[in-house]
Amino acid sequence: MSDNHLIELKNISVSLGGEQILKDLNLYINDKEFITLLGPSGCGKTTTLRIIAGFLRPDEGEVIFGNKKVNDVPPHKRQVNTIFQRYALFPHLNVFNNIAFGLRIQKRSKEEIKDKVTEMLSLVNLKGFEERDINSLSGGQQQRVAIARALAVNPKVLLLDEPLGALDLKLRKDMQVELKNIQQRLGITFIYVTHDQEEALSMSDTVVVMDGGVIQQIGTPIDIYNEPKNAFVADFIGESNIIDGIMPEDYVTEFAGQRFKCLDKGFAQNEPVDVVIRPEDVDVVPLEKGMLRGEVTSVTFKGVHFEIIVDVQGFKWMIQTTDYEEVGNKIGIYVEPDAIHIMKKSKYSGLYGDYSSFSDEIDLLSDVTYEEGDGNG
Amino acid sequence: MAKGLGKKLITAPYTVWMMIFVIVPIALVIYYAFTDSGGAFTFSNLSYIRDYSRTFLISIELAVISTVICLLLAYPLAYSMSKMSAFKQQTMIMLVMLPMWMNFLIRTYAWMTILEGNGLINRAVRAIGFEGFHMINTNGAVTLGMVYNFLPYMILPIYTVLTKIDKSTVEAAQDLGANRFNVFKRVLLPMSIPGVISGITMVFVPAVSTFVISKLLGGGKTFLIGDVIENYFLGNTGTINYNVGAALSLVLMILILVSMTVMNKFDNGETAGGVI
Amino acid sequence: MKTLSKIYNCLVFAFLYAPIVVMIFYSFNSEKSRTNFGGFSLRWYAELFHDTVILKSLYLSLAIAVLSAVTATIIGTLAAVGINSMKGIKRKTYLTVNNIPVVNPDIVTAISMMILFVFVITRVNGLEMGFWTLLIAHITFNIPYVILSVMPKLSGMNSNIYDAALDLGCPPVAAFVKVVIPEIMQGIVTGFIMAFTLSLDDFVISYFNSGSAAQTLPVTIYSMTKRPYSPKINALSTLLFTSVMILLIIVNLRQSGANKQRANANKK
């Protein structure tokens, strides 16, 4: 393995209260990398983070930090620091003393502490807040104090557990940019946990998609989006139409009763596959020019585009288009060969990617759901 | 919300009741404290404080000592309880509360059996060939009675505050490099102060004003301010004097009010999560 | 470290339970001695049940506890709703006055009410200390505890639910009974239980306000401690202790059962 690996998790398994949370997980994290663990509630991402921080000991497997096994090293001796889900600021200390906490433990001199706290406060744009009471701060300000407190002790790695989950949308967007800036400026490793795919894609160097205690895919945001490995990833990251198909030969796929060109190869002849087509890659064309034909069953205005659901031989496609179509219209659709992604069948096949029972509300609800309760994640 | 119901109407019984049975009695205490038996205004009742300054001092001394002992005994127990599994915590809480549900007269009375000159401790000591001790009817016995009776009132609020501390703040401290000692010193201890304060109040107030414990375990040798007040209200016909009794009660009330105000200064105005 | 704290906990509990164990042990003594154990007997239990003074005071204690707890719960719950909707100085004043009997030493509360009762009795013919003064005194020190247990439930309640009930066409009183009361029921029950046990357990306030006619159980016990030793006290205490213990165990088991059910329901 390369020397660049700062942290390695090898064959990690964890059970909590009789429930297996992580199953034989393997992951390495490079120095100075912004890596995001992404997945729905209960997928094991927070547990992974707690193993790295040292709050949880894996039942099996090794945690390696800079070539040393650290399974038995307690959290206070690890060079990683955490931004907790609800910040976990010390309510009995003011802003200054919160940030100075770790430095005082290290028995730094008074001047050193003062300088460092001042530096941290300016880093997070909270100059002049030294004497303020924690409870008098807004959510965003508390968030900044938590960041300053963790960074004050010069960690090699910063762990962030859904740090923006409690903030409103606008503030969240601002903090995303700010966090990314801080990470690049300080040049330290960020391990970020979120269930928000947009956040993951926009901030990370590497995204780790998890579900059911198992890593589904690791890759750059672009890879993850363009080349999802299975139906779960395809559905969790953005919107996807996932259609049953087969591969009669390399570079040719067959679905909806027809054959189409594609860019994938290496499958057995006539191997059943999942075909993924992103809604924005589908063009609406006049009926006679379409490679497939269908009837519009619903139209939703989304601002930048319309989201229309089209019934093609009983399968409901989602299409994003800037042209208005009326419900009941018969239209043709067209997809470029490079927009047709072929995935091997997995246990997720058939579970996702059909919009026949599609509703916006379900999406919204799952967005709001808080991540993984208290420590069981 | 109560508007539709007539805010005044639903609080009216309470307001009237509290007026007649809380405010008026306190006013009467003040009135009696500053009048003589004929109803004329006087300061002479308050001059009795001088006569009883020693009694006040002993009451305060014993109450402070018992409060400190309770705190020292209770904190480690509450701390280790707060770290147990949920089921164990529930059992421990029950064990702490069970003696509280016994009337304190009975609990105090039980100690007489143990501490007496011919009591269990002395018999055990003599059985192994030593001289017996004189224990009952001493200040020590009274202090023991106070500690015994009021210990649960110290354990419970401290325990409650410790369990309410967000576990993630402890993790945050560990994360920032604090070992067990530092976590305790810098996070748990300062954050448990509200519980300690309410524990201190809940032990000190009944201890400083008791008259039963001193009667049963002090045998009349330890005379506390509570005994004096009781004597002025329910003593022999000759000693009954509501005016002096009211004056002393007033002083006791002010004493407690002042000490509580001082204690609350330590509390930063945070509400204590006490169990009553 | 772990064994050390275990030993420590055991010692503290030994201290808490030693007198109780001693008392229970001697309640079965066949001799009338605090220290000599002459053999096992139920003699003192038998005498206890023939002691009309003790039995009478037990009934009185129970009657006072039930009546004062019920009255205090009604007055207190209504007042809590009213106070909860108050703001600013008015609310603060109410809460401060409410705290007076809680914060004041029992003996001060006791003598202040005694002064009031004596003040009235000496001016009105035919009145004397007894059942009514006792009941009034108990209601007075119980009310604040009811308010203290109901208030947190009220402030934790979503106040929109009452408005929602009105919005759906429910008249105010019905809305209160159907929506608000169930929301704060837990606090009301806690307040009632607290009032009941405080009343049953109270000695100081009863001692000053009962007169000679109506003695509650603790007052009777107190007068027994002043007379020559009788193991009847031990027998009585043992019975009280056992019933409290059984009650607590039942409550605890039910609670943990309910918790488990809730946990299971959550899992599903």
Q: Would you say residue C192 has pLDDT above 90? A: yes
Distance CA A88, CA A77 (A): 19
- Residue A263 sits in the same domain as residue A202: no
DSSP string computed for C126-194: T--SSHHHHHHHHHHHHHHHHHHHHHHHHHHS-THHHHHHHHTT--HHHHIIIIIHHHHHHHHHHHHHH
Residues of B in contact with C37 (CB under 8 A): none
Q: How far is B169 from chain C (nearest CA, A)?
A: 23
- Residue A237 sits in the same domain as residue A356: yes
A285-301 per-position pLDDT tens digit: 998 888 899 999 999 98
- Residue A76 sits in the same domain as residue A194: yes
Handedness of CA B86, B90, B95, B99 (dihedral sign): positive
Q: How far is C173 from chain B (nearest CA, A)?
A: 7
A315-324 per-position pLDDT tens digit: 899 999 988 8
**Which residue in the set A75, A101, A150 is minimally distant from B171, CB to CB?**
A75
**So what's the pLDDT on residue A372?**
40
Q: Would you say residue B230 has pLDDT above 80? A: yes
Alpha helices in chain C (DSSP H): 2-27, 43-48, 52-84, 88-103, 106-121, 131-156, 160-167, 172-175, 181-201, 204-209, 217-226, 232-267
- How confident is the prediction for chain A on average, in pLDDT? 88
CATH architecture of the domain C52-232 equals: Orthogonal Bundle (1.10)
**So what's the pLDDT on residue A216?**
94
CATH of the domain at A332: 2.40.50.140
**So what's the pLDDT on residue A183?**
93
**Which residue in the set C105, C111, C221 is minimally distant from B233, CB to CB?**
C111
Q: Of the candidates A226, A244, A267, which is a domain's last residue? A: A226
pLDDT range class, residue B72, cuts 50, 70, 90: very high
Whether C235 contacts chain B with CB within 8 A: no
Q: Would you say residue B227 has pLDDT above 80? A: yes
**Which residue in the set A80, A86, A106 is minimally distant from B168, CB to CB?**
A86
Mean pLDDT over A327-336 rounds to 91
Nearest C-alpha in A relative to B179: A76
Q: Would you say residue C1 has pLDDT above 80? A: no
Tokens of B263: 């204690």
B119-169 per-position pLDDT tens digit: 788 888 888 888 777 888 889 999 999 999 999 999 999 999 999 998 899
- Residue A119 sits in the same domain as residue A79: yes
C67-82 per-position pLDDT tens digit: 999 999 999 999 999 9
- How confident is the prediction for chain B on average, in pLDDT? 88
**Which of A351-365, B27-41, B179-193 is least confident?**
A351-365
pLDDT range class, residue A32, cuts 50, 70, 90: very high
Q: Are A163 and A154 in contact (CB under 8 A)?
A: no
CATH architecture of the domain B52-240+254-265 equals: Orthogonal Bundle (1.10)
| pTM of the entire predicted model | 0.82
Mean pLDDT over A245-257 rounds to 91
**Residue at A125 is within a domain:** yes
Q: Of the candidates A226, A244, A270, which is a domain's last residue? A: A226
- Residue A268 sits in the same domain as residue A159: no
Mean pLDDT over B221-242 rounds to 90
ipTM for this model: 0.88
Interface of B with A (CB under 8 A): 166-169, 171-179, 182, 186-187, 190-191, 193, 268
Q: Are A250 and A217 in contact (CB under 8 A)?
A: no
- Residue A211 sits in the same domain as residue A279: no
3-state secondary structure chain A: CCCCEEEEEEEEEEEECCEEEEEEEEEEEECCCEEEEECCCCCCHHHHHHHHHCCCCCCEEEEEECCEECCCCCHHHCCEEEEECCECCCCCCEHHHHHHHHHHHCCCCHHHHHHHHHHHHHHCCCCCCCCCEHHHCCHHHHHHHHHHHHHCCCCCEEEEECCCCCCCHHHHHHHHHHHHHHHHHHCCEEEEEECCHHHHHHHCCEEEEEECCEEEEEECHHHHHHCCCCHHHHHHCCCCEEEEEEEEECCEEEECCEEEECCCCCCCCCEEEEEEECHHHEEEECHHHCCEEEEEEEEEECCCCEEEEEEECCEEEEEEECCCCCCCCEEEEEECHHHCEEEECCCCCCCCCCCCCCCHHHHHHHHHCCCCCCCCC
- Residue A245 sits in the same domain as residue A303: yes
- Residue A170 sits in the same domain as residue A267: no
In the block, tokens 């808080």 appear at: A370
A254 Cβ neighbours under 8 A, 6+ residues apart: A245, A246, A247, A248, A260
Which residues span the domain enclosing A306?
A: 231-363
Whether B7 contacts chain C with CB within 8 A: yes
**Which of A7, A24, A17, A104 minimizes the C-alpha distance to A60?**
A24
Q: Are A257 and A240 in contact (CB under 8 A)?
A: no
The dihedrals phi and psi of C122, each to the nearest 5 degrees, come to: -70, -15
Annotated domain spans of chain B: 52-240+254-265
pLDDT range class, residue A224, cuts 50, 70, 90: very high
Annotated domain spans of chain C: 1-41, 52-232
**Burial level of B102, CB count in 10 A (0-12/13-18/19+)?**
buried
Contact call for A90 and B187, based on CB within 8 A: yes
- How confident is the prediction for chain C on average, in pLDDT? 89
Q: Would you say residue A141 has pLDDT above 80? A: yes
Q: Are C157 and C27 in contact (CB under 8 A)?
A: no
- Residue A201 sits in the same domain as residue A276: no
- Residue A49 sits in the same domain as residue A143: yes
Nearest C-alpha in B relative to C222: B105
pLDDT range class, residue B269, cuts 50, 70, 90: very low
Residues of B in contact with C169 (CB under 8 A): none
**Residue at A316 is within a domain:** yes
Q: How far is C9 from chain B (nearest CA, A)?
A: 6
C94-147 per-position pLDDT tens digit: 999 999 999 899 999 999 999 999 999 999 888 889 999 999 999 999 999 999
Q: Would you say residue B4 has pLDDT above 70? A: no
Which is more confidently placed, A28 or A1? A28
A68-111 per-position pLDDT tens digit: 999 999 999 998 999 988 889 999 899 999 999 999 999 999 99
Q: Mutate one of A51, A101, A136, A159 to test the B interface: name it (highest B CB count within 10 A).
A: A101
% of chain B residues with pLDDT over 70: 93
pLDDT range class, residue A208, cuts 50, 70, 90: very high
Q: Of the candidates A226, A248, A269, which is a domain's last residue? A: A226
- Residue A83 sits in the same domain as residue A138: yes
- Residue A342 sits in the same domain as residue A271: yes
Interface of A with B (CB under 8 A): 53-55, 74-77, 80-82, 84-86, 88-93, 101-102, 104-106, 149-150, 153, 374-375
**So what's the pLDDT on residue A363?**
45
Q: Would you say residue C162 has pLDDT above 90? A: no
A153-190 per-position pLDDT tens digit: 999 999 999 998 888 888 889 999 999 999 999 999 99
Distance CA A3, CA A31 (A): 9
pLDDT range class, residue A308, cuts 50, 70, 90: very high
Contact call for B186 and A105, based on CB within 8 A: yes
Q: Would you say residue A120 has pLDDT above 90? A: yes
**Residue at A261 is within a domain:** yes
Q: What is the total count of domains within chain A? A: 2
Nearest C-alpha in A relative to B192: A92
Whether B179 contacts chain C with CB within 8 A: no
**Which residue in the set B169, B177, B190 is minimally distant from A76, CB to CB?**
B177
pLDDT range class, residue B273, cuts 50, 70, 90: very low
CATH of the domain at A215: 3.40.50.300
Which is more confidently placed, A377 or C144? C144
- Output C53-61 pairs: Cβ under 8 A, ≥24 positions apart: C53/C215, C53/C220, C54/C217, C54/C220, C54/C232, C54/C236, C57/C215, C57/C216, C57/C217, C57/C219, C57/C220, C58/C217, C60/C131, C60/C134, C60/C214, C60/C215, C60/C216, C60/C217, C61/C200, C61/C216, C61/C217, C61/C218
Q: Are B129 and B105 in contact (CB under 8 A)?
A: no
C210-268 per-position pLDDT tens digit: 888 789 999 999 998 888 778 888 898 899 889 888 988 888 787 777 776 766 665 54
**So what's the pLDDT on residue C85?**
86
